[in-house]
Amino acid sequence: MRSDAAKKGLERAPHRSLFKAMGYTNEEIERPLIGIAHAHNEIIPGHIHLDKIVEAVKAGVRIAGGTPIAFATIGVCDGIAMNHMGMKYSLASREIIADSVEIMGQAHPFDGLVLIPNCDKVVPGMLMAMLRLNIPAVMVSGGPMLTGRYQGKNVHLVSVFEGVGRVKANTMSVEELCELEDAACPTCGSCSGMFTANSMNCLTEALGLGLPGNGTIPAVAAARIRLAKHAGMAVMNLLEKDIRPRDIATKEAFENAMAVDMALGCSTNTVLHVPAIAREAGVDLPLATFNEVSQRVPHICSLIPGGSHSLQELNEAGGVQAVMRELLNSAFGLHQEVMTATGQTLGENLKKARVQDGEIIHSVENPYHKQGGIAVLYGNLAPDGAVVKQSAVAPEMMSHTGPARVFDSEEEAQAAILAGKINPGDVVVIRYCGPKGGPGMPEMLSPTSAIIGMGLGKSVALITDGRFSGGTQGACIGHVSPEAAEGGPIALLKEGDIIVVDITNKKLQFEIDEAEMAKRKESWQPPAAKITSGYVARYARMVSSGSSGAILK
List active site positions.
469
Alpha-carbon Rg of the chain, whole angstroms?
A: 23
Spell out a b/e string for 68-99, using b for 16 or more CB atoms within 10 Å of the CB, else e. bbbebbebbbbbebbbeeebbbbbbbbbbbbb
Q: Are 297 and 256 in contact (CB under 8 A)?
A: no
Non-local CB neighbours of 299 within 8 Å, separated by 6+ positions: 262, 263, 264, 265, 367, 368, 369, 370, 371, 372, 373, 391
Other CB atoms within 10 A of residue 13 CB:
9
The alpha carbon torsion through 465, 469, 470, 474 (nearest 10 deg) reads -70
Element (H, E) at 509: strand 507-510
Beta strands in 5-162, from DSSP E residues, in sequence order: 33-38, 67-72, 112-116, 137-139, 148-150, 153-155
By DSSP bridging, strand 148-150 and strand 67-72 are unpaired
Q: Contact, 338 vs 303, CB < 8 A? A: no
Given phi > 0 = left and psi -120 to 50 = alpha, else beta, which region is 455?
left
Phi, psi of 241, rounded to the nearest 5 degrees: -90, -5
Rounded CA-CA distance 543/553 in Å is: 6
